[in-house]
Amino acid sequence: MRLYNTLSRSVEPFAPARDDTVRFYVCGPTVYDHLHIGNLRPAIVFDAMRRYMEQFKGWRVVYVQNVTDVDDKLIDRSRSSGEPVEAIAERYTEAFFSLLRRLEIQEPTHSPRATEHIDDMIALLEKLVALGAAYESGGDVYFRVSSSPGYGELSGRRLEEQEVGSRVEASEKKEHPLDFTLWKAAKPGEPHWPSPWGEGRPGWHTECVVLSHAYLGDALDIHAGGNDLVFPHHENERAQAEAAYGAPFARFWLHNGMLHSGGEEMHKSTGNFVYAHTLLERHAPGVIRFFYLSRHYRKPLEYSEGGLDDAAAALRRVRTCVADLEASLRGAEADASRSEGEASLDEELERLRVRYVEALDDDFNTVEAIAVIQEIVSVANRFRAEAGARGAPGLQRALSLLRELDAPLGLLSSADGPENGAGIEEGLVDLVLELRETLREMKAFERADAVRQRLAELGILVKDTSEGTLWTRGDRPA
């Protein structure tokens, strides 16, 4: 397996450092509000990567995702609402895990809360102060950036070029403007804990260092998150951890691209966002996962309802194939003989399985992996039409392969499969579209257009794309 490492800016061979165990840390949410759909991308992408490592590579994955339950945003929400920080954090933590369950995302192996490890954070800061990598000033504790010779390597920013930015506060108490806060002195009405420097609370960057170390040890195999976290969050985590532990903090740094809306990155601060739970009111979990995995994880992804509709149409074809294969197998007579064409089917299925593994081994190329699944659907449909009742063994192998290859991606969600004959109905639509495509190949364009128009009258909207013909259900004309 090969993965793109943000630190080296190259694709490198990846395997767990020891024990066939992948130590995998993903930055989790700050639980001051519901997640928006941009937050779903790392959750879905790294869940699929974890599944692939477990199911296809045979590795054990210890997957840690923190919950930030004390932070400036929580305190600001508490001040504006009058609700205690603890109550806000508890409500949105439960909402976060409910969302994971609804999207059929596996829960982390460990999901520690920041407030559960305050003593560990204080111990880390004491160590950094003793090493000269941190200093106290007016009740606050700051990391001395000048003590970190590798600072800026992850983000590719030179120290002299960096500016005060997100979650980096300017202060006269600092030795250097880019020294960042490790411990914040208590202010009236804020959560606080006792420490050698007085009452206060930990900084955001310190929380992830301590929580990852507590469950994964000194050296992580993978540290992951959105690419908006590269600087300052991950840069500052790395500086602290390597100063304290004297070893590389993470072997691989993985970052997903941002979700865009209207050509701009999606952020709550700009208002161009959609809450994740509202997306589930309109689209099934498998459709949402298909949409997010249909673009390479490192590239930006443009959100649109049209894109989700296209994902629904493409996934419907896969689900219909699965339902039709199951129906054919239920109705097939027991016959141990091999039908004509089964040998070539086996060769084709094996070739496609190899191509799927090669795709996900190549920096987790889910775009190509989904294309393989779609090709298996075409192969299976063609074989089912040609082999008939004698094709049951081959159909069973095709069905088993579809389910095997879907397992890491989670597209065939248990919550949105064909029901009450939907598989038959959708299969008929696909059959009509195949006949329409034959008419187009024969240059009988008027007849092909008539088929499209008749489908539209029945509420089936047809869209010809570079990826093939897709269809969705719409309103029937009055």
- Please state, for a pLDDT cut of 70, what percent of the chain lies above it: 90
**DSSP 8-state code for residue 230:** I
User: Contact at 8 Å (CB) between 134 and 125?
Assistant: yes
User: Contact at 8 Å (CB) between 336 and 381?
Assistant: no
Split at pLDDT 50, 70, 90, the class of 423 is very low
Helix, strand or coil, per DSSP, at residue 331: helix
Amino acid code (one letter) for 248? P
State pLDDT tens for residues 298-355. 999 999 999 999 999 999 999 999 988 988 887 665 454 556 678 899 999 999 999 9
pLDDT at 394: 92
pLDDT at 342: 84
Average pLDDT of span 168-192: 87
**Of the candidate ranges 206-210, 306-310, 325-329, 363-367, the one whose mean pLDDT is the lowest:** 325-329
State pLDDT tens for residues 381-417. 999 888 876 788 999 999 999 999 999 999 997 655 4
Is residue 10 predicted with pLDDT exceeding 70? yes
Taking the mean position of all CA atoms in its chain, how far away is CA 100? 11
State pLDDT tens for residues 434-465. 899 899 889 999 999 999 998 888 878 888 86
State pLDDT tens for residues 245-263. 999 999 999 999 999 988 8
pLDDT at 418: 39
**Helices marked H in 103-144:** 118-131
Is residue 165 predicted with pLDDT exceeding 80? no
Is residue 68 predicted with pLDDT exceeding 90? yes
Determine the Cα–Cα distance for residues 76 and 176; give it in Å rounded to an integer: 27
What Rg value do the Cα atoms of the chain yield, rounded? 26
* Average pLDDT in the chain: 90
Domains of the chain are 2-282 (3.40.50.620), 301-473 (1.20.120.640)
Helix, strand or coil, per DSSP, at residue 113: strand
Residue in 71, 48, 29 with CA at minimum distance from that of residue 254: 48
Is residue 420 predicted with pLDDT exceeding 60? no
More confident residue, 476 or 37: 37
pLDDT at 461: 82
